[in-house]
Amino acid sequence: MRNAFAKEVTRLAKKSSKLVLLSGDIGNRLFDDYKAIPNSNFINCGIAEANMMGVAAGLAMSKLKPIIYTITPFTTTRCLEQIRVDACYHDVPVIIVGTGSGLSYASLGPTHHSLEDFAIFRAIPNLTILAPSDGVELKKCLNEALKLDSPVYMRIGKKGEEIITDKSLKLKIGKSVTHKKGNDVCLIGTGTIMPEVIKAAEKLENKNVSVHIERFHTIKPLDKNSLRKIFKKFSLISVVEEHSQIGGLYGAIAEWRSLEKYHYNTRVLSFGTKDEFMHDIGSQHYARRKYGLDSQNIYKKTYSAFKK
Amino acid sequence: MKILELKKKAAIARSRIIMNSHKTNTPHLGSCLSCVDILIALYFSKLKINLNDINSLSRDRFILSKGHGAAALFQILAMRGFYSEELLNDYGQDGSVFAEHPPAPDYLPGIEAATGSLGHGLPIGLGMALASRITDNPYHVYVLLGDGECNEGSIWEAANMASAQSMDNLTVFIDSNKWQATDRSKDLLGNPSHVDKWEAFGWNTYEIDGNDMQEITKVLAKKPKKAKPTAVIANTVKGSGISFMEDDNNWHYRIPTFDEVKLAFNELSIDL
């Protein structure tokens, strides 16, 4: 995904001199092509994210289009107040890209995990929250984000994510995507965990369960219309996210549902990380299994709930 | 504008800030009075502003990073003509735009950045200064910091980067009134010399009396040093201009009584 980001941002910089890419001293060689473009604007702000966010807001207030790129915890919680005040209170178009999100950097330890970003950002006014699942969706998200005149947070993975997005998809911010239609159960997913969701669906289908898959590349604004249709149709929905079970996509859906006038007779399962820091270190796959975010567990839990 | 006229404007601003504090229970008088002279000098003798096109992309920018000086800024923006002085009648009323800190720019003409949380104005100002270079649109960015505000790490992150980026269109005033909200700045800052610090960060540095109009205008008239940002260490007095408020940190929060307002107006030679 990060290569797709570098490629797309380079393509866009050739078209617009308003684009300013700010990096927090990461992405060694990643942006060489970008930097090679005559008059392209690249600023390595160093390891000083609070300042970088303020600088980006200052650029955006001056009618430029800054994009910030660094490892997720450092472009989110590290400089949260600058995001809240400088970008969101001023409501200026800063695009905040967090790379290595969720458990992508599982082996680097909890300082590099980002499992609270949806929860924290959802409560901040004016901020759009995007979580593309692969390089294709990322490019579409970035292009749509640049059309907005307000701040955007985009949470991306690392490299080599499986492509699951249809290239012809007409992506619209705030509008979920039906990845696959089905009739018995619905799996809702967001971001780079999608391949596990798709594999879980395959396992369910092998058991003759017809599965609908809905992908939420936008966490905020939440696609309520899509949720209404899904909740009316399905009595079992599993929500999967590489994020804490507190305050993420599941949390957003639960909040929405509790305020709906209509009473949905739907059971919802939440697949996310627990309310804890992960002290036993391993690969992303290990971390996903630990928190039940692997396809096998999603399949097993969903299937057993379906059978009840 | 001549020094004498600027001084007169500063006296008027002081009187309005004090009356407003009394009428609306607005605190931070000491902090407002220490920076009034710098604000008056900037708005009436330096900033490139077009009142017919206040959002012109080539305007000079001023950011009051020590946002708790807003009560001073609000009066001076009205005096400068950004909005009518009647608008200030809303001050302290429910639903008013006049918070104790500057609002978002869309909500009040003349405001460049909503500040109040300390340590934000310099990074934003640096972004604006960089935008001038990127868009090849020459303008100057001025940022006023409190000396207490320089506790914040983000100030020094920005100080590093501004120097690394050779931002000669960026000037910082440090309103060094030697007090923070609850303590003497020197007791909290370690090495009290701002000059040493900003010079060490690669800035072109001046030290002036920040309540002396002559010295402020003189430093503003200097041509920026090539490829270096400028830091003006403005030695000021908290509560400057009113004898019974000067260097008394109680006026960080105290509200003047009507009798104190009368005394203050008398000292300023302004009719009540």
For range A176-191, the mean pLDDT = 98
Question: What's the average model confidence in pLDDT over A56-68?
Answer: 98
DSSP, residue by residue, chain A: -HHHHHHHHHHHHHH-TTEEEEESS--TTTTHHHHHSTT-EEEE--S-HHHHHHHHHHHHHTT-EEEEEEEHHHHTGGGHHIIIIIIIITT---EEEEESTBTTTGGG-GGG-BSSHHHHHHTSTT-EEE--SSHHHHHHHHHHHHH-SS-EEEE---S-PPP-S-TT----TT--EEEE--SSEEEEE-GGGHHHHHHHHHHHHHTT--EEEEE-SEEES--HHHHHHHHHH-SEEEEEEEEESSSSHHHHHHHHHHH-SS----EEEEEEE-SS---S---HHHHHHHTT-SHHHHHHHHHHHHH-
% of chain A residues with pLDDT over 90: 98
The answer to whether the CB atoms of A61 and B124 lie below 8 A apart is yes
Percent of chain B with pLDDT over 70: 100
**Selected residue of B117, B126, B157 to mutate for chain A interface (largest A Cβ count, 10 A):** B157
pLDDT band at B17 (very low <50, low <70, confident <90, very high): very high
Residue A272 lies in a domain: yes
Specify the number of domains making up chain A.
2
Residue B190's pLDDT band (boundaries 50, 70, 90)?
Answer: confident
- A128-147: pLDDT as tens digits: 999 999 999 999 999 999 99
- The answer, yes or no, to whether residue B1 has pLDDT greater than 90, is no
Same domain, A269 and A223: yes
Indicate the pLDDT class of residue B240, thresholds 50, 70 and 90. Answer: very high
The pLDDT of residue A293 is 98
Distance, in angstroms, between B162 CA and closest chain A CA? 10
- CA-nearest residue to B156 within chain A is A51
Min Cα separation B231/chain A (Å): 18
Domain shared by A25 and A92, yes or no: yes
**pLDDT for the residue B228:** 98
**Torsional sign, CA A282, A285, A288, A294:** negative
Q: What is the CATH number of the domain that holds A119?
A: 3.40.50.970
CB contact under 8 A, A55 and B132: no
Point out the residue among B104, B114, B157 whose CB comes nearest to the CB of A48.
Answer: B157
Element (H, E) at B159: helix B153-164
A74 pLDDT exceeds 90? Answer: yes
Mean pLDDT (chain A) is 97
- Is residue A15 domain-resident? yes
Residue A163 lies in a domain: no
pLDDT, mean of residues A269-291? 97
Residue A147 sits in the same domain as residue A229: no
| pLDDT of B241 | 97
Asked if the Cβ–Cβ distance from A48 to B129 is below 8 Å, we say no
In this predicted structure, the answer to whether residue B50 has a pLDDT above a threshold of 80 is yes
pLDDT given for residue A44 in this prediction: 96
In terms of domains, do A68 and A98 share one? yes
Q: State ipTM.
A: 0.96
Neighbours of A202 (CB within 10 A): 12
A148 and A243, same structural domain? no
What range does the domain containing A212 cover?
177-307
Q: Do B157 and A61 touch (CB under 8 A)?
A: no
Average pLDDT in the A38-53 region? 96
Give the pLDDT confidence score for residue B186 in this predicted structure: 87
Kindly state the average pLDDT of the residues A208-230: 98
- Indicate whether A146 belongs to any domain: yes
* One domain for residues A143 and A216: no
Q: How many CA atoms lie within 13 A of A153 on its CB side?
A: 33
Residues A149 and A6 in one domain: yes
What are the structural domains, with CATH classification, of chain B?
Answer: 3-268 (3.40.50.970)
Q: Would you call A37 an interface residue with chain B, using a CB distance cutoff of 8 Å?
A: no
Residues A201 and A71 in one domain: no
- Under 8 Å CB pairs connecting chains A and B tally to 105
pLDDT at A27 over 90: no
Cross-chain residue pair A57–B124, CB shorter than 8 Å: yes
pLDDT at A229: 98
The answer to whether residue A253 sits within a structural domain is yes
Q: Are residue A26 and residue A99 in the same domain, yes or no? A: yes
Contact A90 B57 (CB under 8 A): no
At residue A118, the pLDDT reads: 98
Provide the whole-model pTM.
0.96
